[in-house]
């Protein structure tokens, strides 16, 4: 099977779970001898793509040198003799001015001020209380490094993908999330090959009822124009069916997975916190969708009963300033640590110091972070309105708005080691069954179904 795959992010350039999912899925498809051309609007760091043959632009393009729509960037093969590159997968990287798929259309991505310094300034707390979570782990600057009009970039990406597709040979097109749907539709029209759209998040997840209509329209056209639609959970399938009017028989649920490898042993660096402190972790984008304000309000209620607790918020997003202000207003600014966006070993480090992970998402199509927490031996508390709640039995589940119950469950895990131990051990057994190899097998079945429909 030969796949022309379209994505908008890939490690290390990620702003959410989409890049992590694309990385895990391509690895697993590669192991099953599927040949993939992955088109991406970013130059990729070869340290994070050892399973691919990398094709990148010859040189970064200045603003005035950006090619016109429909003109393919020149590419060269990047040969790294030290890397074990997989010939089953190659990348086509297109220079882009906009990169995050999680922003509102038409917006300009602006990086918020360093969270720790802002918190110090507003709460009058000393710098050591808010600066670094652990040794070598600072606030960070986050992944948002492009600016421009997102809808324009979406169309530009589509034009460049169309040009690239003329030189490729493939059986199916696999498009991840809305920014790639126009490109997928265009390539499908050009090639006559079936399009599979993979929905990791919808505009209703990102924006609630205040949807951006052009984005919704793009999502709807992509889902209806595809031969098959992959949803990351039954929760997402229901949204696709009822909000977008897609035939449920056309939608296949494929859960995300996780690589069954042990976390790195022995990361160095001591937390810049007291040894007696217990750590409650929020790791994710600080946006409306993830419910960060509910985490802070629950933290306030926990601290009324348990004093030696620190709440760590790892991530960046458009609500970070509001959430910092909320922590200050609640009088717990010195107990809530903001690390900024984390990746790589810093993610490993923050999981290692956590006593419990909390995901109070308002709407979470799946949620890979709880799986990562479990693999790092951390018990999890998750929102009932999440796809991962469908596959995890040994997790404490809450209504995202019920901050009293979130606080009660946090206190229960912190106070009762047997509960924490049971959650950790049993959840780990569940996660071992949830792999990217299993997801890849289901995707291959969807590919076969789509190609058979085209042949018929």
Q: What is the pLDDT of residues 437-448, one digit of tens each?
A: 999 999 999 999
323 vs 312: CA distance, rounded Å: 12
CB-based contact 282:292 (threshold 8 Å): yes
CA distance 11 to 443: 21
Residue 19 has a pLDDT of 87
Question: Per the confidence metrics, is the pTM higher than 0.95?
Answer: no
3-state secondary structure of 309: strand
**What residues form DSSP beta bridges with 340?**
314
CB 1 within 8 A of CB 16: no
Contact assessment for residue 160 and residue 69, using Cβ atoms and an 8 Å cutoff = yes
Q: Is 358 exposed, middle or buried (0-12, 13-18, 19+ CB in 10 A)?
A: buried
19-23, 217-221, 356-360: the lowest-pLDDT one: 19-23
Q: How big is the CA angle at 426 (ends 425 and 428), to the nearest 5 degrees?
A: 70
Angle between helix 213-225 and helix 234-244 axes, rounded to 10 deg: 100
**Residue-level pLDDT at 98:** 55
**Least trusted range by pLDDT, from 141-155, 202-216, 239-253, 375-389:** 141-155
Name the pairing type of β-strands 309-314 and 278-283: parallel
Reported as a pLDDT band with limits 50, 70 and 90, residue 11 is confident
**Of 68, 142, 161, 162, nearest in space to 99 by CA:** 142
Q: Tens digits of per-residue pLDDT, 138-195?
A: 333 333 333 347 888 888 889 989 989 998 999 999 999 999 999 999 999 999 999 9
Residue 321 burial (C-beta neighbours within 10 Å; 0-12, 13-18, 19+): middle
Q: Would you say 26 and 62 are in contact if contact means Cβ atoms under 8 Å apart?
A: no
Calpha distance 355→269 (Å, rounded): 17
For domain 115-143+260-431, the CATH superfamily is Glycogen Phosphorylase B; (3.40.50.2000)
The values of phi and psi at residue 87, to 5°, are -70, -10
Average pLDDT over residues 67-75: 32
- Residue-wise pLDDT tens digits, 296-334: 999 999 999 999 999 999 999 999 999 999 999 999 999
- Report the candidate in 454, 456, 455, 407 with the shortest Cα–Cα distance to residue 195: 454
Start-to-end CA span in the chain (Å):
18
In 3D space, the residue among 140, 107, 325, 295 whose CA is nearest the CA of residue 207 turns out to be: 107
Any bridge partners for residue 173, and if so which?
4, 195
Q: How many CB atoms lie within 10 A of CB 67?
A: 17
The pLDDT-based confidence of 45 (bands split at 50, 70, 90) is low
For strands 228-231 and 195-199, give the pairing: parallel
What pLDDT shows up at residue 49? 59
The pLDDT, as a whole number, for residue 88 is 83
The string of DSSP codes covering 229-281 is EEESSHHHHHHHHHHH---GGGEEE--------PPPS-----BSS-TT-EEEE
In this structure, the strands spanning 356-359 and 309-314 are unpaired
Percent of the chain residues topping a pLDDT of 90: 62
**Which pLDDT score, from 0 to 100, does residue 397 have?**
98
Q: Tell me the pLDDT tens digit for each residue of 235-280.
A: 999 999 999 999 999 999 999 999 876 654 543 344 445 557 899 9
As a whole-number percent, the residues of the chain with pLDDT over 70 amount to 74
C-alpha triplet 391, 301, 210: angle, nearest 5°: 60
Q: What pLDDT sits at residue 21? A: 93
Residue 452: enclosing H or E segment and its boundaries? helix 436-455
Q: Does residue 431 have a pLDDT over 50?
A: yes
Q: Can you give the C-alpha Rg of the chain in angstroms?
A: 22
pLDDT of amino acid 452: 92
Can you tell me the distance from the alpha carbon of 446 to that of 228, in angstroms, rounded to the nearest whole number? 7
pLDDT higher than threshold 70 for residue 196? yes
Domain 2-103+145-257+436-455 -> CATH class: alpha beta
Torsion sign across C-alpha atoms 146, 208, 366, 29: negative
What's the pLDDT score for residue 130?
Answer: 34
Residues of the chain with CATH 3.40.50.2000: 2-103+145-257+436-455, 115-143+260-431
Question: Which residues pair with residue 195 across a beta bridge?
Answer: 173
Distance CA 288, CA 140 (A): 21
d(CA 255, CA 231): 8
């Amino acid at each position: 099977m030969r796949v022309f795959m379209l994505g908008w992010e890939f490690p290390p350039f990620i702003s959410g779970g989409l890049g992590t999912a694309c990385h895990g899925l391509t690895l697993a498809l590669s192991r099953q001898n599927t040949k993939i051309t992955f088109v991406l609007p970013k130059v990729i760091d070869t340290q994070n793509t050892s399973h691919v043959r990398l094709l990148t632009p010859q040189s970064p393009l200045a603003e005035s040198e950006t090619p016109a729509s429909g003109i393919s960037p020149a590419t060269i093969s990047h040969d790294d003799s030290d890397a074990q590159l997989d010939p089953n997968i190659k990348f086509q990287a297109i220079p882009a001015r906009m990169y995050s798929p999680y922003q509102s259309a038409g917006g300009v991505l602006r990086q918020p001020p360093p969270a720790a310094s802002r918190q110090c300034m507003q709460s009058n707390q000393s710098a050591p209380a808010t600066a670094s979570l652990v040794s070598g782990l600072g606030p960070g600057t986050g992944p948002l490094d492009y600016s421009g009009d997102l809808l324009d970039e979406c169309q530009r990406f589509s034009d460049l993908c169309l040009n690239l597709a003329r030189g490729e040979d493939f059986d199916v097109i696999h498009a991840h999330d809305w920014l790639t749907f126009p490109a997928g539709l265009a390539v499908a029209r050009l090639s006559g090959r079936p399009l599979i759209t993979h929905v990791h998040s919808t505009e209703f997840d990102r924006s609630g009822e205040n949807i951006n209509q052009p984005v919704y329209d793009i999502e709807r056209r992509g889902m209806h124009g595809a031969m098959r639609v992959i949803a990351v959970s039954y929760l997402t399938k229901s949204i696709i069916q009822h909000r977008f009017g897609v035939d449920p028989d056309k939608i296949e649920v494929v859960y995300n997975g996780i690589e069954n490898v042990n976390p790195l042993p022995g990361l160095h660096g001591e937390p810049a916190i007291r040894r007696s402190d217990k750590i409650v972790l929020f790791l994710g984008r600080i946006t409306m969708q993830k419910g960060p304000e509910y985490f802070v309000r629950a933290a306030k209620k926990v601290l009324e009963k348990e004093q030696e607790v620190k709440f760590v918020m790892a991530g960046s997003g458009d609500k970070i300033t509001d959430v910092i202000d909320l922590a200050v207003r609640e009088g717990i600014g010195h107990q809530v640590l903001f690390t900024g966006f984390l990746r790589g070993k810093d993610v490993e480090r923050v999981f290692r110091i956590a006593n419990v992970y909390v995901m109070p998402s308002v709407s979470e199509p799946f949620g890979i972070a709880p799986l990562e927490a479990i693999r790092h031996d951390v018990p999890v508390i998750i929102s009932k309105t999440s796809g991962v709640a469908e596959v995890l039995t040994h997790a404490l589940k809450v209504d995202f708005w019920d901050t009293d119950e979130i606080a009660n469950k946090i206190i229960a895990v912190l106070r009762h080691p047997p509960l924490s131990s049971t959650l950790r051990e049993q959840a780990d057994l569940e996660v071992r069954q949830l792999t990217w190899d299993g997801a890849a097998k289901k995707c291959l079945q969807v590919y076969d179904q789509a190609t058979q429909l085209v042949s018929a």
